[in-house]
Homo-oligomer: A and B are copies of this chain.
Amino acid sequence: MSADNQQERLDNKWVSGFVDGEGCFYVGINKIQNMTLGWQVLPEFRLVQHKKNIFVLKKVQELFGYGVITRNHGDRFELRVRKIGDLKKLIEFFQQNPLMTTKKDDFNLFKKIIYLMDKKEHLKEEELKAIAKLSSEMNRKIKPKFLESSETIRPTS
């Protein structure tokens, strides 16, 4: 890689275009003991790149001012954001530098979930169901385990 590229500062709009192509907004809903309702809501933003472009992940991390770089799989690394406080800043970033593809739809659902979590709504059963439903509309419309689980199906009286 040419050195000039490594030193060049990233433009916010470039980051939004790059994330439209390569980024992922994801909300996992996992079964866990010791949680109020037995389920954990785990929202995360991921930007995955081959290791040859790890310097770009570092520049995005620097521009954001948060996020963790970790191995994703094999030769691939990811910049990951999981803390609610940081995710709120990330939402602010993409409101100022809007996504342009259908990824914006995922982002809008993600935003709703983060706002609900910020108000601790995910600790209430009905709101947790609403979050699970929102998350099921994201990405490839995979139904989360939470919505499929027999534990969430209550007999009517």
Given the complex, which residues of B lie within 8 Å of A98, measured CB to CB? 5, 8
Q: Find out whether the CB atom of B104 lies under 8 angstroms from the CB atom of A5.
A: yes
A55 → chain B closest CB, angstroms? 9
The distance from the CB of A75 to the nearest CB of chain B, in whole angstroms, is 13
Contact partner, A13, options B13, B20, B49, Cβ 8 Å = B13
**Copies of this chain, how many?**
2
Task: Evaluate contact between B5 and A100: CB separation under 8 angstroms.
Answer: yes
Taking chain A's interface residues, is the majority helix, strand, or loop, or is none over half, making it mixed?
Answer: helix
A145 within 8 A of B: no
A108 touches B13 (CB 8 A): no
Question: Count the A residues whose beta carbon is within 8 Å of the partner chain — how many?
Answer: 31
CB A56 to nearest CB in B, in angstroms, measures 5
Q: Residue A21 at the B interface, CB < 8 A?
A: yes
Interface flag for A18 (CB, 8 Å): yes
The reply to whether A17 and B13 form a contact with Cβ atoms under 8 Å apart is: yes
Cα of A102 to Cα of B52 in the assembled complex, Å: 7
The answer, among B10, B20, B97, B108, for a CB contact under 8 Å with A100, is: B10
Cβ proximity bits A72-103 to B, threshold 8 Å, 1 near / 0 not? 00000000000000000000000001111110
Chain A positions 1-37 with a Cβ under 8 Å from a chain B Cβ: 1-2, 5, 8, 10-22
Which residue in B2, B12, B49, B102 is a CB contact (below 8 Å) of A105?
B2
Complex: chain B residue closest to A56, CB-CB: B101
Cβ-closest chain B residue relative to A1: B102
Q: Give the complex CA separation of A99 and B6 in angstroms.
A: 11
